[in-house]
Chain A
C-alpha cells in the first residue's frame, strides 16, 4: 500500500510570492489534514478536509488555504509569503471513521528568502 505522497519535497520562494503544495493520501483514506512544523512552534494544525469540505481549521491567517478534490487528493496554498512561513509542511491522511490514527507524508520543506 503506497504511503502519503507530498510534492514537492523542497522548494525555495521569496517574500510576497505564493506557493502550492500537493498531497496524495493513502488509497481509501478520505480525510486529509495539514500541519506546519517550525523549530519555535513545533507541530501546529492547519486544517482538515473530508469529502472536499474543510472540517476543522487551526489558528492561521487567511493566507493559508487548502482544498480537497473528489479523489481525496489535497492541495494547500500560502499566498503573500513571509519569512516566518519557512517550515516543514506535513500532510496526513486517515480513514475518518475508526481510530484517530494519522499517516503522515515526508513533508514539503519550504524556505522563504
Chain B
C-alpha cells in the first residue's frame, strides 16, 4: 500500500497557483518527500523533493509541515501543459529500497483555460 494519501482529482484555472496536498502521516525520519508527475502517455517526470525544509526550484515549490505528516506542492502559475497526474512519494534519500518507488494513485490535476 502507498504510504501517501492524495485527492483523486483537482481543477485549477490557468494562470493561478495550483496547490496539491499530500498526507504522509507514517513518514519515518530518514524518508524524503518526492513529487513526480505524468503527462498522458509519457513517462513520469521528477519535480522536486525535500526532507523538512521548504524547497523551491524552477518547476515548483514544496511546503512540508513542521511535523512532516503532510506536504503541499505548489505550481505558482499553472498552464495547460501542467495538466497531469501528480504523485507524492515518500522514500529514503538514496537507494531504491526493496520495493522500488511506490506511486499510489496520484492526483489528476486539470488546468482549466
Quick check: B43 and A104 within 8 Å, CB to CB?
Answer: yes
Once the chains bind, are A45 and B43 in contact (CB under 8 Å)? no
A44 to chain B, nearest CB (A): 8
Q: B102 near A: Cβ within 8 Å?
A: yes
Which of A56, A92, A97, A101 lies in contact with B43, CB distance below 8 A?
A92
Mostly, the B contact residues are loop
Contacts of A8 in B (CB 8 A): none
Least Cβ–Cβ distance between B14 and chain A, in angstroms: 26
Interface presence of A21 (CB below 8 A) = no
Residues of chain A contacted by B32 (CB below 8 angstroms) = 99-100
A31 to B94, CA, bound (A): 12
B96-A90 in contact (CB<8A): no
Q: A95 CB to closest chain B CB, in angstroms?
A: 9
Counting residue pairs across A and B whose Cβ atoms lie within 8 Å, the total is 70
Indicate if B67 sits at the interface (CB-CB under 8 A): no
Residue of A45, A98, A103, A107 touching B100 (CB-CB under 8 A): A45
With known contacts A42-B104, A42-B105, A43-B103, A100–B96 Cβ distance under 8 A: yes
Q: Are B49 and A56 in contact (CB under 8 A)?
A: no
Complex CA gap A48/B94 in Å reads: 14
Q: Which residues of A contact B21 (CB under 8 A)?
A: none
- 8 examples of A-B residue contacts, CB within 8 angstroms: A43-B87, A45-B101, A45-B102, A46-B100, A55-B96, A92-B44, A98-B94, A106-B42
**Given A56-B98, A100-B92, A100-B96, 14 new contacts (CB under 8 A):** A4-B43, A43-B44, A43-B101, A45-B99, A45-B101, A45-B102, A56-B97, A58-B99, A58-B100, A94-B96, A96-B94, A96-B95, A99-B93, A100-B94
Chain B interfacial positions (CB closer than 8 Å to A): 32, 34, 36, 42-46, 49, 87, 91-106
Interface residues, chain A, CB within 8 Å of chain B? 4, 31, 33, 35, 42-43, 45-48, 55-56, 58, 90, 92, 94, 96-107
Q: Which 9 A-B pairs have the closest CB atoms?
A: A45-B100, A104-B43, A43-B103, A48-B96, A101-B46, A104-B44, A100-B91, A90-B43, A56-B96
